[in-house]
Amino acid sequence: MAVIEIEVIYDFVCAWCYIAKRTLDRAISLYQKTVPGGRSDIFSVKYRPYYLNYNPHPHSVDKSELIDVRLRDMAPEQHIALFNRMDQIGRSMGILFKAGGKIGSTRDAHRVVYYCQMNEIEKDADAVTTNALVEKIFETYHEREMDISDPDVLRDLAVDAGVSREEMDGWLDASPAVVDEEARKNKDEVKSGVPVFIIQGEHRIDGPGDISEFLEIFSKAREWDAGQ
């Protein structure tokens, strides 16, 4: 049995990060189904926060406003080509990207995931709840057009993922300093943007990667683990 450790540096407003999570999930599933003995291997995924800070305002604004500002140097046909490409890739991963809704700070969303993850580590539990929570936050922002900076939205998502409201309220009340410091450190490891995957502390993928790339690294990690 091998233990394959994966660190993911990401932000929720990043569409490529959502695609990358789906790619990673599919790669793990395929590995466990096709590699002899793969079902007994353990995948330990740690999510590491990164603040893209797309929104310079202290309040949430319509995503369409920021899209116009961020892509102001692009011609209209380039806008269309970019969105069509993202839509096509998203659909291939089961994602229906939508441009509506609002964007605020992702700080609280990362705090919730961070404390959920720490809670599972303390209890030596599988990261089922954290993985479900990350997926739900991505879906809520990119597909359901909801504001993930809204504490009430985050509370409902956390409860849906299996977190109690009491735990959730405690996490939102906790100091954000530890998560802010983690995000600052993670910024130093990012070369050109997120997502970034670090596997077994050695193998690195910058960008969403593809399933074959993940499978190749998983196999190398398994061989390395077996040789220890």
Model pLDDT for residues 82-96, shown as the tens digit of each residue: 999 999 999 999 999
Distance (Å, whole) CA 168 – CA 133: 12
Distance (Å, whole) CA 81 – CA 78: 5
Position 228 pLDDT exceeds 60: no
Position 175 pLDDT exceeds 90: no
What are the pLDDT digits (tens) for 96-139? 999 999 999 999 999 999 999 999 989 888 889 999 999 999 99
Report the share of the chain in percent with pLDDT over 70. Answer: 98
Q: For position 221, what pLDDT does the model report?
A: 84
What are the pLDDT digits (tens) for 139-166? 999 999 999 999 999 999 999 999 999 9
Contact 171, 111 (CB under 8 A): yes
Position 225 pLDDT exceeds 80: no
Confidence at 65, pLDDT banded by 50, 70, 90: confident
The alpha carbon dihedral of 154, 159, 163, 165 has a sign of positive
* CA separation, residue 141 to residues 26, 37, 210, 211 (Å): 21, 37, 23, 24
Q: How far is CA 78 from the centre of its chain?
A: 27
Confidence at 79, pLDDT banded by 50, 70, 90: confident
Q: Report if pTM > 0.85.
A: yes
226/84: higher pLDDT: 84
Q: For position 144, what pLDDT does the model report?
A: 97
121/205: higher pLDDT: 205
Average pLDDT value for the chain? 93
Distance (Å, whole) CA 149 – CA 205: 28
Distance (Å, whole) CA 120 – CA 225: 24
Report the share of the chain in percent with pLDDT over 90. Answer: 80
Domains of the chain: 3-226 (3.40.30.10)
